[in-house]
Amino acid sequence: MTTLHLIIGLPCSGKTTLAKKLEVELGALRLTPDEWHRHLYGQDATHPEHDDRHEKIEALQWQVAATALERGLDVILDFGLWAKVERQDYRERAAALGAEAKIHFLDVPFDELLVRLDARNKQASDDVTFIPLSMMREYLPHFQAPDAEEIAENPN
């Protein structure tokens, strides 16, 4: 059965690293919005239109993902998927296409995320998205980690 892999976690939790590993291991299509975002808009985390731009990229990537799933190719969505309702929505979308959905939750303590963010921001690289520390602190209250019930729904 075709599988939609949902990568869940906050920035710096290792989502893209895991997504790239799965891409190679599974021969799956990996869709990472941050890569497209940087290519189209550069480092714009503080730009007023950042979130709107990112949502449009995710919507476009879902169209690509749906086509791939319909054609029998596994897909990895490296979206973060902070809200339970958002994850449920993608599970339902996958099911409507005859695919299963599997979650991959990267549970990293917030203090460790801050250490990783600091190291990442010092890289001055076009390969990673710069996120100001103040913004990272604002993210935490918005993140809904998967609970035991949601994880139990995950196929092995």
Which residue ranges form the domains of the chain, and what is each CATH number?
Answer: 3-152 (3.40.50.300)
According to the model, what pLDDT value does residue 97 have?
Answer: 97
In DSSP terms, 75 is beta-bridged to 4, 29
pLDDT of residue 23: 98
- Give pLDDT, residue 156: 59
The model scores a pTM over 0.85: yes
Q: For residues 125 and 53, give the distance between their C-alpha atoms in angstroms, rounded to a whole number.
A: 21
57, 46 Cβ separation under 8 angstroms? no
Instruction: Give the pLDDT score at 45.
Output: 84
Residues of the chain scoring pLDDT < 50: none
CA neighbor of 77 nearest in space, from 28, 143, 1, 6: 6
Structure-block tokens of residue 154: 């995950």
- Asked whether the beta carbons of 101 and 3 are under 8 A apart, the reply is yes
Q: What is the pLDDT of residue 132?
A: 87
